Amino acid sequence: MSQSVSDGGVLEMARRQLDQAADRLGLDEGARKVLKQPQRVLMVSFPIKMDDGRMEVFTGYRVQHNFARGPSKGGLRYHPLVTLDEVTALSMWMTWKCAVVDIPFGGAKGGVVCNPKELSVGELERLTRRFTSEIGIIIGPEKDIPAPDVYTNPQVMAWIMDTFSMNKGYSIPAVVTGKPIEMGGSHGRLEATGRGCVYTIQDAAARLGMELKGARAVVQGFGNVGQAAAKALAELGVKIIALADSNGGIFAIDGLDLAAVLAHKDQTGSVTGMPGTESMSSSEILELECEILVPSALENQIRGDNAGRIRAKLIAEGANGPTTPEADEILLKKGVTVIPDILANAGGVIVSYFEWVQGIQHFFWTEEEVNAQLRRRMTASFDVVYSTKEREGCDMRTAAYLVALKRVSEAMQLRGLYP
């Protein structure tokens, strides 16, 4: 199973990123104190009847970081290494992400400590339904709206919507986003994060004078985000030379045939062992010579100890938190452009916002409308961040934080302190 950050490192990292931007912005101490803590944390332990008749107890979390700009929004992760610190850091990043792309949400995140690959469909459904009932007291279309994240998918969202609706007595599609289209999901949501990430790569390439046709890309993580990003890059003529999933990586100097890799993964469960490719570890592919690197798996992949060996010119963070602050410093000195997670992977939450709006209005958009609006918002957000970077003479992460932090702190100030 994959490496995650199972200690407090990732929360410390999120707070350090906040401090750096807060220093630059001259944010007052009070606001800083508020933003370092989540507003609300719910931890639940709940029993599930397993298929063999045993009872198992699972632990789950829902963390709501900040509501200053609206109801909170963020994914739900099923992974054996989920911790409260990890979910809290992810909820903070959601606050900045929603602010940087200017959608009216605060940040939240949830997780259940489990290995979904070892659960049957029935066990997964029971776990999801019971967890939904447990957190049902703090979620809802006007309160907090979950969405898919690592190892959760549209089916899990459908169970959440159904359970929440059953408990209330009527259908409430807008309680969750990333649902199947057949029951109130939005066209374009499945691919939105990867597609949005590639829009930011296009915008960055235009500024850097980088030709995308024929450029080489490496994508770590071949799930929802990694697959959609790889496909969108390939459509632009980018050569995908390496991919990795939780079992390891594959490399082909002349480029991979994505359809064949997908078929191989469908058949075997992994990209590894793909005929005609060289095997590599998931961390080795990060160090390959390429123009574009898209980490799309988990946190803490590019660190102080390997950042010096990164040879990509442009990194677009499909994943949340793949680069540590130590690595950021090294990459900046090396002249590597990093499009930060809170901007690069915001396409998912943008289309989740569109799905929420459609659900509330019971009026649905075409895929063309969704994609056009996504493109417009991604590019507008990229432009604001890029011009802030130029003006401030900083890297793009700091610039994105400056934009986000200013919006969140202004909303907090205008609302004032209650009581």
Q: Which residues lie near ligand NAP (CB under 6 A)?
A: 2-3, 148-151, 193, 220-226, 244-247, 270, 282, 296-298, 318-320, 345, 348
Question: Is 133 or 248 the residue whose CB approaches ligand NAP more closely?
Answer: 248
Question: Is 132 or 300 the residue whose CB approaches ligand NAP more closely?
Answer: 300
Residue type, 157: M
Minimum Å gap between C-beta 320 and ligand NAP is: 4
Q: Given 36, 49, 97, 109, which residue is catalytic? A: 109
C-alpha 242/C-alpha 284 separation (Å) is 10
Question: Is 38 or 221 the residue whose CB approaches ligand NAP more closely?
Answer: 221
DSSP 185: P
Minimum Å gap between C-beta 117 and ligand NAP is: 7
Using DSSP's 3-state secondary structure scheme, residue 269 falls into coil
Strand 55-66 with 239-245, pairing: unpaired
Minimum Å gap between C-beta 412 and ligand NAP is: 24
C-alpha 72/C-alpha 69 separation (Å) is 8
Strand 216-220 with 239-245, pairing: parallel
Q: Is it true that the peptide bond before 419 is cis, omega within 30 degrees of 0?
A: yes
Question: Is 47 or 269 the residue whose CB approaches ligand NAP more closely?
Answer: 269
Strand 292-295 with 144-148, pairing: unpaired
Minimum Å gap between C-beta 28 and ligand NAP is: 30
Question: Is 2 or 155 the residue whose CB approaches ligand NAP more closely?
Answer: 2
Q: What are the residues whose beta carbons fall under 8 Å from the beta carbon of 175, sequence distance 6 or more?
A: 139, 140, 141, 145, 146, 160, 161, 164, 165
Question: Is 225 or 274 the residue whose CB approaches ligand NAP more closely?
Answer: 225
Using DSSP's 3-state secondary structure scheme, residue 5 falls into coil
Strand partners for 59 = 45
Cβ burial, residue 212 (10 Å; 0-12/13-18/19+): middle
Minimum Å gap between C-beta 274 and ligand NAP is: 13
Minimum Å gap between C-beta 177 and ligand NAP is: 9
Give residue 71's region: left, alpha or beta (phi > 0; psi -120 to 50). Answer: beta
Which residue minimizes CB distance to ligand NAP? 223
109 given a catalytic annotation: yes
Known catalytic residues are 109
